[in-house]
């Protein structure tokens, strides 16, 4: 699988984070809003996530070597997991600040200019998020997708904060600002936990998504109609690369050449149905009892050869 370098998208994320962090910090200084402060803190997290994404995308792009025969693609999960953890920490900081402000309200100032600056920062984030999300889906990169979803969460956070600060201006109820900040923190926690869970799933060799497995099942169904049987089908994903392993059972009197031709055709069909996939196949005679001893995912004991199933 050849994938173009994705580090340029990480640089885009870093640039967007720097721009929005500066704008939101200015808006916070002008207004004194803890809601806008929460927005600025999340942009700091965006910056840290962008730097981590740049480092891990550089590692993931390295070719396979003797020590990493399956490549370095799992490095992307470290980036997304790191960013998800930072999101949760940022939410804790926002919550702490909001509770203090809730206990000791403070009037807001220069709301019009502050809100205008915050809206401008959100538009920068939105443009960067759309580009990153498209690139993440196109190149099957969890790092870019996590970065994009974080930026999108930041955009929705900003919408909530702007609405809250605007409501303060209309109602003069100062505690509404920290209440909005607490809601923002809760939303950030949800986003962060989701990213961390997906990253852990990748590091733990979680099976492919149901949609991907359905494509594999469709391919196998066509071969089953030819009388071919399968078991011990296993899948996993490492970054953008997918792995499929399965045992293929054929009549015992087949020649090696015929079995090899079948496996080549099968592997090609799976790769055609599922991009960026490496397929491992194991050919077995359908009439040998040992072929059926490994129907489960692992074979822990030597197979018996007493009688066929």
Q: Which domain holds residue 124?
A: 7-203
Average pLDDT of the chain? Answer: 80
**Confidence check: pLDDT of 120 > 50:** yes
Within a domain: 150: yes
Structure tokens at 219: 């391919």
Highest mean pLDDT among 141-150, 192-201, 242-251, 284-293: 242-251
**Confidence check: pLDDT of 298 > 50:** yes
Q: In this predicted model, which residue has the larger pLDDT, 122 or 253?
A: 253
Same domain membership, residue 184 and residue 44: yes
d(CA 158, CA 108) in angstroms, rounded, equals 17
**Confidence check: pLDDT of 75 > 90:** no
Same domain membership, residue 223 and residue 130: no
Within a domain: 298: no
Other C-beta atoms closer than 10 Å to the C-beta of 89 total 15
Within a domain: 274: yes
Same domain membership, residue 196 and residue 162: yes
**Confidence check: pLDDT of 36 > 70:** no
* The domain boundary residue, chosen from 157, 183, 203: 203
**Confidence check: pLDDT of 124 > 80:** yes
Within a domain: 306: no
Residue 274: which CATH number?
3.30.70.1350
Structure tokens at 81: 């997991």
Strand duo 229-238 + 277-285: pairing: unpaired
3-state SS record for the chain: CCCCCCHHHHHHHHHHHHHHHHHHHHHHHHHCCHHHHHHHHHHHHHHHHHHHHHHHHHHHCCCCCCCCCCCCCCHHHHHHHHHHHHHHHHHHHHHHHHHHHHHCCCCCCCHHHHHHHHHHHHHHHHHHHHHHHHHHHHHCCHHHHHHHHHHHHHHHHHHHHHHHHHHHHHHCCCCHHHHHHHHHHHHHHHHHHHHHHHHHHHHCCCCCCHHHHHHHHHHHHHHHCCCCEEEEEEEEEECCEEEEEEEEEECCCCCHHHHHHHHHHHHHHHHHHCCCEEEEEEEEECCCHHHHCCCCCCCCCCCCCCCCC
Q: What is the pLDDT of residue 309?
A: 44
Same domain membership, residue 21 and residue 90: yes
Same domain membership, residue 157 and residue 34: yes
**Confidence check: pLDDT of 155 > 60:** yes
Structure tokens at 13: 């994320």
Number of domains making up the chain: 2
Q: What is the pLDDT of residue 238?
A: 80
Same domain membership, residue 271 and residue 233: yes
Judge contact between 216 and 244, C-beta under 8 A. Answer: yes
Q: What is the pLDDT of residue 307?
A: 41
Same domain membership, residue 241 and residue 174: no
The structure's pTM equals: 0.63
Strand duo 241-250 + 229-238: pairing: antiparallel
Q: What is the mean pLDDT of residues 204-229?
A: 92
Q: What is the mean pLDDT of residues 169-197?
A: 76
* The domain boundary residue, chosen from 182, 203, 224: 203
Same domain membership, residue 53 and residue 157: yes
Q: What is the mean pLDDT of residues 274-290?
A: 90
pLDDT digits (tens, 9 = 90+) for 44-68: 777 877 888 888 888 877 887 788 8
Same domain membership, residue 216 and residue 199: no
Same domain membership, residue 269 and residue 189: no
Q: What is the pLDDT of residue 21?
A: 82
Residue 65: which CATH number?
1.20.1510.10
């Amino acid at each position: 699988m050849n994938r173009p370098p994705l580090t340029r998208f990480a640089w885009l994320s870093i640039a967007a984070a720097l721009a929005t962090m500066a704008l939101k910090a200015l808006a916070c200084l002008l207004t004194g809003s803890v809601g806008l402060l929460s927005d600025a803190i999340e942009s700091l997290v965006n910056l840290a996530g962008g730097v981590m994404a740049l480092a891990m995308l550089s590692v993931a792009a390295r070719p396979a070597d003797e020590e990493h025969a399956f490549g370095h693609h799992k490095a992307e999960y470290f980036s997304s997991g790191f960013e998800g953890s930072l999101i949760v920490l940022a939410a804790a900081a926002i919550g702490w600040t909001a509770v203090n402000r809730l206990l000791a309200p403070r009037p807001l100032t220069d709301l019009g200019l502050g809100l205008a600056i915050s809206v401008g920062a959100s538009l920068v984030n939105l443009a960067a998020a759309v580009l990153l999300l498209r690139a993440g889906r196109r190149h099957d990169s969890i790092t870019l997708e996590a970065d994009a979803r974080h930026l999108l969460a930041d955009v929705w956070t900003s919408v909530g904060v702007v609405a809250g600060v605007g409501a303060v201006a209309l109602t003069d109820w100062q505690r509404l600002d920290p209440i909005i900040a607490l809601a923002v923190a809760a939303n950030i926690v949800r986003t962060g936990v989701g990213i961390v869970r997906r990253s852990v799933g990748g590091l733990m060799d979680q099976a492919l998504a149901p949609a991907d497995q359905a494509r594999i099942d469709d391919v196998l169904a066509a071969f089953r109609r030819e009388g071919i049987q399968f078991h011990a089908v296993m899948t996993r994903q490492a970054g953008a690369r997918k792995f499929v392993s399965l045992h293929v059972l054929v009549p015992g009197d087949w020649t090696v050449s015929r079995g090899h031709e079948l496996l080549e055709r099968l592997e090609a069909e799976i790769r055609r149905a599922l991009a960026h996939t490496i397929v491992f196949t194991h050919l077995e005679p359908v009439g040998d009892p040992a072929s059926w001893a490994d129907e489960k995912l692992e074979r822990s004991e030597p197979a018996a050869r007493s009688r066929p199933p």
